[in-house]
Amino acid sequence: MTTIAQLLNTKGNQVWSVEPKATIFEALEIMSEKEIGALLVMEDGKLTGIFSERDYARKVILKGKSSKETQVGELMTKKVFYIDPQKTISECMAMMTNKKIRHLPVIENDNVIGIITIGDIVNNIISEQIGRAH
């Protein structure tokens, strides 16, 4: 079974982030430019939250907030679930399913070393199944 560390080695460990003081609009610009669904919120090199498309839909639009005036830190998800790189794809998938999340930071020794998305998990499982079929 593939570990999270192995998956990061394959997909890369690029992490896109913003500071809590960035505006929602700035965060959305980065997400659009990078074609990603979430940004980690980092302050002084430490993970303080996550801001996703879901946060935008539920906390900005529905609450009538202004994306150009509201800071990410005000609306980010503060309770961030994360995974250790030595965990398996199955453990990651179970956590994402149980917590109903689609983006999971990978943390080793208190440092963010990557992020795993539900798409990464699905792609890995499909690749493993194709590999077994041949």
Residue type, 57: A
- The pLDDT value recorded for residue 131 is 73
- The pLDDT value recorded for residue 122 is 92
* Average pLDDT value for residue range 18-43: 97
- The pLDDT value recorded for residue 128 is 82
pLDDT in tens, 51-76: 999 999 999 888 889 999 999 999 99
9 has a pLDDT exceeding 80: yes
* Cβ-proximal residues to 60 (8 Å cutoff; 6+ apart), any chain: 24, 67, 70, 75
* Average pLDDT value for residue range 9-35: 96
- The pLDDT value recorded for residue 1 is 79
Residue 127 banded pLDDT, cuts 50, 70, 90: confident
- The pLDDT value recorded for residue 130 is 83
- The pLDDT value recorded for residue 134 is 58
Directed axis angle between helix 118-133 and helix 4-11, to 10°? 90
CA 113 to chain centre: 12
133 has a pLDDT exceeding 70: no
The rounded percent of the chain whose pLDDT value lies above 70 is 98
